[in-house]
Amino acid sequence: MSDKRLIVGLGNPGSEYEWTRHNMGFLTVTRLAQDLGLRLRKSTSVKGIWAEGRLENSEVVLLLPHSFMNNSGMVVKQAVTAKKIDPENVLIVCDDFSLAFGQIRLREQGSDGGHNGLTSIIEQLGTKKFSRLRLGIGPIPPHKNTVDFVLEDFRLDEKRKLPDFLTAAADCCRAWTSELLSTVMSRYNQKLLT
Q: Cβ distance 64 to 39 under 8 Å?
A: no
Distance CA 6, CA 62 (A): 6
Phi-psi region of 43 (alpha: psi -120 to 50; beta: other; left: phi over 0): beta
The alpha carbon of residue 172 and the mean position of all alpha carbons in its chain are separated, in whole angstroms, by 11
Which helix (DSSP H) or strand (DSSP E) does residue 149 occupy? Answer: helix 146-150
- Helix, strand, coil abundance in the chain, percent, nearest 5: 45, 25, 30
Distance CA 144, CA 167 (A): 28
Choice among 22, 66, 115, 143 that is catalytic? 22
Active site residue 22: yes
Could you list the active site residues?
22
